[in-house]
Amino acid sequence: MSRDIKGRRFCDACGRLTTTPHRVEGKDEFCGTCYKREFVKRSCACGASARVRRTMVGPVQCARCAAAARTCVRCDKPVPRAGRRVPGGVVCLSCRPYSHPPMPCERCGRASRALSLERDPESMRICERCAKRDTHATCAFCRRHRAIAGRTQEQRPYCAGCGPSGENVHECPGCGTSVRGGGSGQCRGCLNRRSLEREVALQSLPLTSPEGVRWMAGFARWLCDRDPPSTRLTKDFARHAPFIVRLDAILEAGDACSTAWFVKHIPLHEQRKHLLFMTYLREDEGIALSAKEKRRSCRTRARPRPTPQSSWKAVSASLGGIRGNIVCEGESRANAASVPIDRSGVLRVRQRWEHGMES
């Protein structure tokens, strides 16, 4: 689109001002007079005629063939009907909201690509979040974010399915329990069960041993039976699933999954980190570590404590390296070895070190 210094549109061929161009070709706009002069009729491959520029080189496409061959520059899908023209092509109707540059909302200041003027009586350019702030809320009865049908005497919002007193209920199609509100939605327990089934199918793909598969499915079932309506079941399962995958990788063919195996391969701090899974093993699999076995696991997995002599050798090596790097001002590196060191200070460091190791 061509505009002069005053913001007025003009024809790119003759330079005359125009309010609506007759033809837009790329970035050039043409008035009706220049359109007839610059564009000539040529035959398309389908037999129809099309007007193209005189300087055009290559195959000619009519409007119908061009619309059938073009694709969206964002999703690369066929675009028989363009949603918007952008630099480099067109976008479809689904990608049209993402083609706008993000602009700040005039109410909250958040950058958004979908600003609207119709939803606000003050004619402000507001985002979708601000537009739904006054019309949508979490229902006080079904606890779902929906359009508000009204408010109770205590100013609590309710949806149209629940009613002002929450008397509307329906049966869960999965288990038959009563669920607040109308419709055919499932209860929280059935939703958690479906979500855990999907997570188990996804997390069980890298498992190779039957014990790992059994632990993965059994742990999900144990969580769901423990507290079905909890909102943290999926998060708890996702937090302990990598630990089950690691156990499956350590477990070799023919190994017996006993208490001794856990003491040998799994350190105590890992067992404490995944205490919920260890509780499942104790209650469902019968694998429980006693206090004696935990102390033995700590001793077998603990790092050896350095002795005073070995520690002093490391300190001496460090001091020797420091001495080798000392270079006096004005002397060469070759004379650095002759720089004296305070032996009394080194002796005091050694005495303090040995005294700390013995205590």
pTM metric for this prediction = 0.48
As a whole number of angstroms, the distance between CA 124 and CA 134 comes to 15
- Burial of residue 215 (CB within 10 Å: 0-12, 13-18, 19+) is buried
For the cut 50, the answer to whether the pLDDT of residue 324 exceeds it is no
Amino acid identity of residue 67, one-letter, is A
As a whole number of angstroms, the distance between CA 290 and CA 209 comes to 26
Higher pLDDT, 266 or 321: 266
Q: What is the DSSP string of 149-182?
A: -EE-TT--EE-TTT-SS---EEE-TTT--EEESS
Lowest mean pLDDT: which of 22-31, 72-81, 250-259? 250-259
| Averaged pLDDT, 78-90 | 82
pLDDT of residue 9: 85
pLDDT of residue 296: 63
Task: Pull the structure tokens for residue 304.
Answer: 């050896």
Of 57-61, 150-154, 181-185, which one has max mean pLDDT? Answer: 150-154
Of 49-63, 67-81, 292-306, which one has max mean pLDDT? Answer: 67-81
Lowest mean pLDDT: which of 201-210, 285-294, 311-320, 333-342? 333-342
Distances, alpha carbon 329 to alpha carbons 320, 323, 332, in Å: 20, 15, 8
As a whole number of angstroms, the distance between CA 38 and CA 357 comes to 94
Residue 38, helix vs strand vs coil:
helix
pLDDT of residue 356: 55
Q: Binning pLDDT at 50, 70 and 90, where does residue 47 land?
A: confident
As a whole number of angstroms, the distance between CA 280 and CA 297 comes to 20
Write the DSSP symbol of residue 284: I
Q: Binning pLDDT at 50, 70 and 90, where does residue 317 land?
A: low
pLDDT of residue 268: 77
As a whole number of angstroms, the distance between CA 119 and CA 303 comes to 66
pLDDT of residue 219: 92
Reading phi first (left if > 0) and then psi (alpha if -120 to 50, else beta), residue 133 is in alpha
CB of 181 closer than 8 Å to CB of 162: yes
As a whole number of angstroms, the distance between CA 348 and CA 353 comes to 9
pLDDT of residue 39: 87
As a whole number of angstroms, the distance between CA 76 and CA 71 comes to 5
pLDDT of residue 339: 45
pLDDT of residue 216: 92
Strand ranges (DSSP E) for 57-114? 84-86, 89-91, 103-104, 111-112
As a whole number of angstroms, the distance between CA 22 and CA 31 comes to 5
In the block, residue with structure tokens 């690691």: 246
Contacts of 339 (CB under 8 A, 6+ apart): 323, 326, 328
pLDDT of residue 302: 47
Write the DSSP symbol of residue 281: I
